[in-house]
Chains A and B, each alone.
Chain A
């Protein structure tokens, strides 16, 4: 069974601070996909990134960066120089294998508050 753990529930930082959101996953599959989604106060779910299990390269997109480490089953998300607009709930998710039987399992989410 696949599982995603986001141990941090709420994080509060001051604007311009860096913040890292942790994600630990469990799976028995060798092929799997990891995702991060953002849910701002308006409520919609916004896709941020997808990473497959064969690609451990870290990725940077502007102020966002992701650190994927298979050795520790972690897929952490760092926001550099945080801004008030980054305030949202962030979900890490896992999908095993591929094909028609792929389910997306979400973590419980981390509520990030960025104060001015």
Chain B
């Protein structure tokens, strides 16, 4: 079975550029989560969706960050304009029957903003 698929695996770009991270959840999962992992702050929940609807975006750092889920099989996390402090590993996870079932994580996108 295919797991959560994230792309790209690595992204290096200059500050000020727009960055788009992509995620394909596991088929049949109706919850999708975006996390950010940094050394200083650990794993932080940014936003999560249920049935394609954003439920809680209180973890989104600021207006430069936005996330969408146009359908059940695709989500994007966009940063515009990007800044060096956005450098981190971004994980997407999906689940069903939260929290009875565990969240399954993608391999992450390592983002470096120069």
Contacts and interface: CB of A to CB of B under 8 A. Distances in A.
A77 B65 CA distance: 36
Q: Could you say which of B42, B45, B56, B99 has the most chain A C-beta atoms within 10 Å of its C-beta?
A: B99
A109 B38 CA distance: 12
Given A33-B99, A44-B108, A45-B105, A100 B43 contact: no
B105 to A, nearest CB: 4
A106 B38 CA distance: 13
Given A33-B99, A43-B89, A104 B45 contact: yes
Nearest to A44: B107
A91 interface: yes
Interface residues of B, number: 23
A43 B98 CA distance: 24
B34 to A, nearest CB: 12
B69 to A, nearest CB: 14
Contact of B45 (A43, A47, A103): A103
B2 interface: no
Contact of A101 (B43, B56, B106, B110): B56
Contacts of B33: 104
Contact of B105 (A44, A100, A109): A44
B100 A98 contact: yes
Contact of A91 (B43, B89, B93, B98): B43
For the complex of A and B, 7 pairs with smallest distance between CB atoms = A95-B99, A45-B105, A106-B43, A47-B102, A33-B99, A102-B99, A102-B98
Interface of A: 33, 35, 37, 43-47, 50, 91, 95, 98-109
